[in-house]
Homo-oligomer: A and B are copies of this chain.
Amino acid sequence: MRLPETTTLTLSQQQGVLHIVLDRPQARNAMSLEMVEELMTVFDLVESEAGIRALVLRGGGGHFCAGGDIKDMAGARQKAAEGDPEAFFRLNRRFGEMITRANRLPAVLITVLEGAVMGGGFGLACVSDVALAAGDARFALPETGLGVIPAQIAPFVVRRVGLTQARRLALTGARFDGHRALNLGVVHEVADSAEELDKKLAELLGQVRRCAPGANRATKALVLDVDQVPMEQLLDRAAREFADAVNGDEGQEGTLAFVRKRAPSWAGDRD
């Protein structure tokens, strides 16, 4: 598999896992339009290559992502001044398209959250299947304090933590750390040292590898469709997918491995 050329991201691949590092440390990995487009290109690959079972998304230089990019904002302001009134709309909406797609990627999306996890960075954390945070990571929705709104972010925060917590976070700009993020349900695990964080990530990748890739793909689509598709219709579809899975390669290998008390073939997946 050939990885795309990128300038804002550093990519590597290992044992079915694609590692993506947001790599603009001088800007605390602020989410530029270029970064959004490069993530979209990576998502093309993830959607077409069934061999990619998991993505690990983290930030280089000690921060996950500090929010939107100031230069892009200045650029949009200039375009607006030059008679392109849609410039801000497009800039904002494109981020929303990226995050919407990230939420539904067929692979398991894991975020590792350190340092600043603000605005768009917070939104991205909210669409991961599993989020691991450093205890001293700093989360916030600072938008309304700057006179703007968390337009493409707040809806995903609501889906992540529920309306009750989301309304407080969005209307107060409250800052909180990784431990509180665990408590609020933004993240699933918290670690108080880099070693512990790496250990938890390794354990998690071990768990994901023991799950059959195709079954995980179907299951992810299923859980994301709850409350989007009428329940009876969803359960009918799911029963059909269950029958397909049982009769397919993974179901047969899984049954055989279970009976023979050995690991299934996918658990030892190597490049």
Residues on A close to B: CB < 8 A?
73, 76-77, 80, 85-89, 92-93, 96, 100, 108, 129-130, 143-152, 154-155, 157-168, 170-174, 185, 188, 204, 207-208, 210-212, 215-216, 218-220, 222-224, 226-227, 231-232, 234-236, 238-243, 245-255, 258, 264
Contacts and interface: CB of A to CB of B under 8 A. Distances in A.
Contacts of A168: 129-130, 188
A173 B85 CA distance: 49
B80 A247 contact: yes
A173 B210 contact: yes
A114 B166 CA distance: 24
Given A144-B219, A204-B172, A253-B147, A96 B239 contact: yes
- Per assembly, the copies of the chain total 3
A165 B215 CA distance: 18
Main DSSP-derived SS at the A contact region: helix
A207 B246 contact: no
Contact of A212 (B86, B147, B152, B165): B147
B158 A226 contact: yes
A87 B246 CA distance: 11
30 contacts: A85-B243, A93-B236, A96-B239, A129-B167, A130-B168, A144-B219, A145-B210, A146-B258, A147-B250, A147-B251, A147-B264, A148-B215, A149-B222, A149-B241, A151-B241, A152-B238, A154-B223, A155-B235, A159-B164, A160-B164, A161-B164, A163-B223, A163-B226, A164-B185, A165-B185, A167-B223, A167-B224, A170-B219, A171-B219, A172-B211
A242 B119 CA distance: 13
Given A168-B129, A215-B143, A231-B100, A155 B242 contact: no
A211 B247 contact: no
Nearest to A246: B88
Contacts of A234: 155
B159 A163 contact: yes
B163 A224 contact: yes
Q: Please give me the 5 A-B residue pairs with the lowest Cβ-Cβ distance, nearest first.
A: A147-B254, A147-B250, A151-B238, A88-B243, A151-B242
